[in-house]
């Protein structure tokens, strides 16, 4: 079997770390991104010729271009791009400042968009490749207290769904992965909260915020099992556009679909009759 080369962003912990370990164990080559040089040095010492860590801040366009140029010059090809790095954020819509909103979108939308676009010329030249976008079940169904994060992942899924159609005739695949709660650091130090709190939202956004804090480290999902599921996607001739991971994610997608269908059925006459 031909060795594949993967670029996985955000592998210092959580799902990214589990995926990098899985890919390395399966014999493929990993280029993993970190934001701290000390993390890069430790990773490179551990894996030496089997993997390499590079510095990348998704919000820095210069570092994105540098990463592309380094891979193109030193590796020459890329088989799988996994956009895993991102920012978790909780807060009611009214509680969230413009600066906080923009920070979430810079990481979860613009950073992913820019990195994906940077590697599209290489994928087009190869006429092959698989882009894996790590979204969330919250990229398909919104939750009170999670609206800005939901919006960033909805945006990620929107451009990715369109991109999948654009690149399919070119031999390039794309899959959106939608994990539910997994035992990562997402609900711990990786999660940011709106600085402002408004008492009127304590029963909605506030309750959601406290629930996230309470489940940290006790989520249902095993990140190593998720990593195996993601790895297996790359061996499929026709991978799915979307892959929810975990029972909570399946429930979220199912309930959203049912809600949309209920509204469509209940108001079909209004919808169809409003334009004639």
- Which positions are annotated as active-site residues? 135, 149, 153
The dihedral region occupied by 145, where left means phi > 0, alpha psi between -120 and 50, and beta the remainder, is: left
Contacts of 192 (CB under 8 A, 6+ apart): 87, 88, 89, 90, 100
Secondary structure tally for the chain: helices H, strands E:
10, 9
SS3 63: helix
Neighbouring CB atoms inside 10 A of 179's CB total 27
Tokens linked to 81: 């791009």
Torsions phi, psi for 205 (to 5 deg): -65, -35
Element (H, E) at 245: strand 242-245
CA–CA separation, 106 and 120 (whole Å): 20
| 11/51 Cα distance (integer angstroms) | 12
User: Is 208 in a helix, a strand, or coil?
Assistant: helix
- Confirm if 31 and 49 have CB atoms less than 8 A apart: no
The CA-atom distances, in angstroms, between 43 and each of 2, 12, 30 are 24, 9, 11
Label residue 133 exposed, middle or buried (CB < 10 Å: 0-12, 13-18, 19+): buried
């Amino acid at each position: 079997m031909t060795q594949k080369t993967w670029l996985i962003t955000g592998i210092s912990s959580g799902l990214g770390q589990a995926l990098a370990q899985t890919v390395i164990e399966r014999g493929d080559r990993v280029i993993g991104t970190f934001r701290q040089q000390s993390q890069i040095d430790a990773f490179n010492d551990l894996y030496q010729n089997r993997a390499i860590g590079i510095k990348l801040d998704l919000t820095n366009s210069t570092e994105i271009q540098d990463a592309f140029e380094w891979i193109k010059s030193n590796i020459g090809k890329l088989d799988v791009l996994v956009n895993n790095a991102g920012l978790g954020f909780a807060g009611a819509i009214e509680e969230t400042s413009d600066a906080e909103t923009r920070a979430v979108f810079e990481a979860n939308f613009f950073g992913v968009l820019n990195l994906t676009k940077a590697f599209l010329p290489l994928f087009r030249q190869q006429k092959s490749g698989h882009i894996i976008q790590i979204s969330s079940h919250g990229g398909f169904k919104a939750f009170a207290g999670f609206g800005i994060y939901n919006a960033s992942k909805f945006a990620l899924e929107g451009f990715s769904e369109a991109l999948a159609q654009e690149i399919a005739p070119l031999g390039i695949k794309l899959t959106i992965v939608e994990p539910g709660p997994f035992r990562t650091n997402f609900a711990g130090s990786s999660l940011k909260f709106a600085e402002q709190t408004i008492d009127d939202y304590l029963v909605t956004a506030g309750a959601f915020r406290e629930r996230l804090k309470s489940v940290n480290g006790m989520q249902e999902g095993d990140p190593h099992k998720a990593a195996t599921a993601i790895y297996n996607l790359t061996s499929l001739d026709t991978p799915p556009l979307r892959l929810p991971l975990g029972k909570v994610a399946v429930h979220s997608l199912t309930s959203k679909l049912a809600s949309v269908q209920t509204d469509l059925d209940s108001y079909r006459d209004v919808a169809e009759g409003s334009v004639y």
